[in-house]
Structures are given as C-alpha cells and as structure tokens.
C-alpha cells in the first residue's frame, strides 16, 4: 500500500509541470503559441516551436500539436479561455517531433489528426529526440501518436463552410515530406518549418533547391499572414529571412564549388555576416554549409 501511494505521488509530481504559454493573436480568428528561438533543452522543455489554432466557428483547427502531451494539454486550456470550442482537426506539418508529440493529448479527445505522407512509413522510436533532451516532468504522459490520415498531394477540408487547403510537397524541402496549410478566407498560410525567422533554419534533412522553390510558391499566395514553425514574425515578411538565408547560402556555396574550394575550406569561407546575430548561427551554419555543399556538388535536385 505504501509503495502504491509513493508511486501515485511520484506520478502526480511528474504531471504537475506546466508550460507558460501565451496566445499571440494573428488576424481576427487565429492565435499562435510562439516558441523561443532556441534548441530543445531542459530549460524550455520543447517550448521552442510554434503551434497555432484557428477559430472555425464551431470548432478549432490546430496546426502542429507541439512537443509533448502536457504542452498540448496546457495549450487547449488556454484555447478554451479564449473561447470554449472543441478541436475538430489537428494538422502535423512534418515529422520532426517538436511539432507533433502533442498528438497524444488530442488523440485522447478523439480528434482527427492529419499529417504529411512521411508519417505513413515512420516507425516508433525507443526514445524520441524530445525525450532525450527535456525533463521527465515535461515529457510525462507523452507517447508517439501518428496521424490517422495522410496527405499525399493536396487535400481540401470544409469546416463550417471555410475552405482549408493542405498542400504536401512530396519531396525534400525542409524535411523529407513537408506540407503547408492555406486558408483563403482569412488570408493565412501556416508554413511549418518551411519558414523560420529570428533564428537560423536547419537544412539537415532537406534540399536547398526545393525549399527555395516552395518559398516562392508560398509567397505567391494571396496571404496577409504567413506563420512559420519558428519565429515571432507572422506577417508577409515572415518568409524573408529564410528565403534570403537559403538563396545566399546556395549562391555562396555554388561559387566556392565552382572555384574548386574543398568542403573543409568552404566551411570556413562561407560566412554570412548578415546572419551572424541570428540565434543558433554558430550551431547551425557550418552544418548547413556542409549539407548544401554535398548537395550542390552532385547536382542533387
């Protein structure tokens, strides 16, 4: 009995952690929880990603459920303080786990979850990347719950007479399979990690050529708001930093390859002073140079 009581106390202590989330209003019907421009660690406990919710009239549409069960639970509590609505759909923009481990909470509510096609072949891991880097208290209750419907090309949802367009990229851009969400009636695009601002993007799983092309597609849409996966800028200028960074990185690395500069030297020569004050420049930039060099060297499209 004593042992059972101790286990219950321990479990309750794990679940006592709460995220400090503030909902930023984006347009008339959208709010977003804006993450810190950092990598996941035991300080932020994964609160370094953007998660948004849209008032669709009779329900909420959630774009990216966040890094943990408790994050999603805390987020929905905040959502209901704004307006008491159920969640009809969750859309996962890609498979990096800071964007979808909150599925485990919404799944308990019976919410339909949609995601990019890469989830279809995703295998549950022994320990997620998030689990390795944040506290046990923050990760408590989290499990890997994949979407129950996959978007292979394009899907249109009609929610309370509002059209929601979901477009899957179907090849590497930021990740192996990104998607973005466009709601014409509120002039808003939810771009996931196709858009970063305030910090340097990560190219490790992506393709610099496709990524730039997709950003051109997003910028061509009639959108007043473009919300990325990381960063607090949510107006039409939100794509500028990512587009400028990737375009300049591509041109700089391609020029070095043309000059015959080897990869080890390129890592030192391909500096980008404009971005040196962006968060994570020291951590991410050299890695991005290496990925871009290997890709462009072989003409990988």
Read off the pLDDT of residues 191-201 as tens digits, 9 standing for 90 and up. 999 999 999 99
CATH number for the domain spanning 45: value is 3.60.15.10
What's the whole-number mean pLDDT along residues 92-105? 98
Structure tokens at 134: 């944040």
Instruction: Please give the tally of structural domains in the chain.
Output: 1
3-class SS of residue 67: coil
Measured at the CA of 137, the angle between CA 132 and CA 142, to 5 degrees, comes to 65
**Residue-averaged pLDDT of the chain:** 94
Residue 301 CA to residue 293 CA, distance in Å, equals 13
Q: Give me the pLDDT at residue 15, please.
A: 55
Structure tokens at 160: 């309370």
Residue-level length of the chain: 301
Q: Is 34 a member of any domain? A: yes
Q: Is 234 a member of any domain? A: yes
Q: Is 119 a member of any domain? A: yes
Residue 80 CA to residue 78 CA, distance in Å, equals 5
Residue 192 CA to residue 226 CA, distance in Å, equals 10
Q: In this model, does residue 301 exceed pLDDT 60?
A: no
**Considering the chain, what percentage of its residues have pLDDT values greater than 70?**
94
Residue 168 CA to residue 262 CA, distance in Å, equals 35
Looking up tokens 């759909």 gives 89
Quick one: pLDDT band at residue 14, thresholds 50, 70, 90?
very low
Residue 246 and residue 291 in contact, taking contact as beta carbons nearer than 8 Å: no
Quick one: pLDDT band at residue 267, thresholds 50, 70, 90?
very high
Quick one: pLDDT band at residue 3, thresholds 50, 70, 90?
low
Q: Is 82 a member of any domain? A: yes
Q: In this model, does residue 13 exceed pLDDT 60?
A: no
Q: Is 95 a member of any domain? A: yes
Residue 119 CA to residue 144 CA, distance in Å, equals 11
Domain that holds residue 176: 20-238
What's the whole-number mean pLDDT along residues 64-72? 98
Q: Give me the pLDDT at residue 16, please.
A: 73
Q: Is 83 a member of any domain? A: yes
Q: Is 12 a member of any domain? A: no
Q: In this model, does residue 81 exceed pLDDT 70?
A: yes
Q: Give me the pLDDT at residue 300, please.
A: 59
Read off the pLDDT of residues 30-63 as tens digits, 9 standing for 90 and up. 999 999 999 999 999 999 999 999 999 999 999 9
Q: Is 258 a member of any domain? A: no
Q: Give me the pLDDT at residue 11, please.
A: 46
């Amino acid at each position: 009995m004593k042992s059972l009581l101790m286990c219950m106390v321990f479990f309750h202590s794990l679940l006592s952690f709460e995220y400090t989330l503030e909902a930023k209003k984006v347009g008339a019907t959208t709010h977003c929880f804006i993450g810190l421009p950092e990598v996941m660690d035991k300080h932020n406990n994964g609160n370094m990603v953007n998660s948004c919710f849209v008032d669709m009239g009779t329900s909420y549409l959630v774009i990216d459920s966040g890094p943990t069960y408790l994050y999603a639970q805390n987020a929905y509590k905040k959502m209901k303080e704004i307006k008491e609505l159920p969640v009809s759909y969750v859309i996962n923009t890609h498979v990096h786990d800071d964007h979808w481990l909150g599925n485990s909470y919404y799944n308990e509510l019976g919410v339909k979850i949609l995601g990019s096609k890469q989830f279809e072949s995703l295998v549950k891991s022994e320990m997620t990347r998030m689990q390795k880097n944040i506290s046990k208290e923050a990760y408590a209750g989290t499990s890997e719950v994949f979407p129950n419907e996959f978007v292979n090309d394009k899907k249109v949802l009609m929610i309370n007479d509002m059209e929601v367009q979901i477009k899957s990229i179907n090849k590497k851009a930021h990740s192996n399979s990104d998607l973005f969400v466009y709601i014409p009636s509120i002039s808003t695009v939810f771009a996931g990690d196709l858009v970063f601002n305030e910090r340097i993007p990560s190219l490790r799983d992506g393709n610099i050529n496709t990524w730039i092309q997709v950003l051109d597609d997003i910028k061509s849409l009639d959108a007043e708001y473009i919300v990325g996966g990381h960063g607090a800028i949510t107006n039409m200028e939100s794509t500028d930093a990512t587009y400028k960074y990737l375009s300049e990185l591509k041109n700089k690395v391609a020029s070095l390859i043309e000059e015959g500069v080897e990869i080890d030297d390129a890592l030192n020569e391909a500096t980008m002073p404009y971005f040196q004050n962006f968060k994570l420049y020291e951590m991410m930039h050299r890695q991005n140079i290496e990925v871009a060099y290997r890709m462009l060297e072989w003409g990988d499209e």
